[in-house]
Amino acid sequence: MPCNPEPPINLGLFADSELQQPPRIEVLGPQSRVLRGFARPWVERLLPSLDSVLAAAPFRHMLTPGGFSMSVALSSCGKLGWTTDRSGYRYSAIDPQSQQPWPAMPEVFRELAEAAAQAAGFNGFDPDSCLINCYRPGAKMSLHQDKNERDYSAPIVSLSLGLPAIFLFGGLQRRDPSQRVPLLHGDVVVWGGVDRLRYHGVLPLKDGNHAELGGQRINLTFRHAG
Ligand code: MD3
Ligand code: FE
């Protein structure tokens, strides 16, 4: 009786890398989930839209209210974009660099964000803001809370692309211990409800080369800000 397992038949719907690593859901907190590999089937359609957004609103290093240049370079699309300068953190409908409205949110961005929110148990997510963070080796984001949104009832959806990073997921107080969560190309994380105001950050990015994005990590963060 032959007992060799048949190799999986790839009908061409998924790349071999997706057959080996099916999407998995990891529990980070009561209302936060890592959707491993969730965006892999979307990436090919997302990247050209990302390029168009960045052509209209290029990455730039913004100043914190304290006068320091952020190591992460930022851009935005959608009705509202997050900005910072000497006068504070805020959402604005106008890109301060171009003095024009931020580029519209591409439909494929909105669809991915809504689908990911739904997979994590948040139905009807309607983001009006997509912050685009660009990390080069050494860039980091210190522990902080996201508090500039008008109400905290909507979840936040984040998509990681390119080089891997270690995400820090803390508690409701800065001194609470934090979990270290590696985030890889195609991973999506959804935070909401009781986890919405938890402290979080990103450790300095390690040097490396990603096959599709090169020596950088790009993070898209979808919010309902207004
Ligand atoms: C956890 N960005 O832009 S993902 C940020 O990877 C930010 O670029 C990180 O923190 C990055 O503000 C982390 C986004 C994220 C956003 C909101 C959260 C993580 C969160 C709210 C609560 C807990
Ligand atoms: Fe944040």
Residue 73 · residue 65 · CB < 8 Å: no
Which value, in Å, is the radius of gyration of the alpha carbons in the chain? Answer: 18
CA 141 – ligand 2 centroid, Å: 8
Residue among 50, 34, 23, 67 nearest 200 (CA): 34
d(CA 75, CA 63): 13
Phi, psi of 78 (to 5 degrees): 100, 180
Query: Could you report the per-residue pLDDT of 197-211, keeping only the tens digit for each?
Result: 999 999 999 999 999
Residue among 37, 32, 35 nearest 195 (CA): 32
Determine what percent of the chain is predicted with pLDDT higher than 90: 87
d(CA 66, CA 108): 36
Report the nearest-CA residue for atom 16 of ligand 1: 156
CA 3 – ligand 2 centroid, Å: 51
Q: Which pLDDT belongs to residue 6?
A: 47
Which ligand 1 atom sits nearest the alpha carbon of residue 165? 6
Regarding the beta carbon of 217 and ligand 1, being less than 6 Å apart is answered: no
Q: Give yes or no for residue 100 having a pLDDT over 70.
A: yes
Average pLDDT over the chain reads 92
Regarding the beta carbon of 219 and ligand 1, being less than 6 Å apart is answered: yes
Q: Specify the fold of 24-223.
A: Jelly Rolls (2.60.120)
Q: Give yes or no for residue 5 having a pLDDT over 90.
A: no
**Contact partners, residue 57, CB within 8 Å, separation at least 6:** 75, 76, 77, 81, 95, 97, 98, 102, 103
Residue 112 carries which side chain, given as an amino acid letter?
L
Query: Could you report the per-residue pLDDT of 116-172, keeping only the tens digit for each?
Result: 999 999 999 999 999 999 999 999 999 999 998 888 899 999 999 999 999 999 999
Q: Give yes or no for residue 80 having a pLDDT over 80.
A: yes
Q: Give yes or no for residue 2 having a pLDDT over 80.
A: no
Segments making up each domain of the chain, as ranges:
24-223
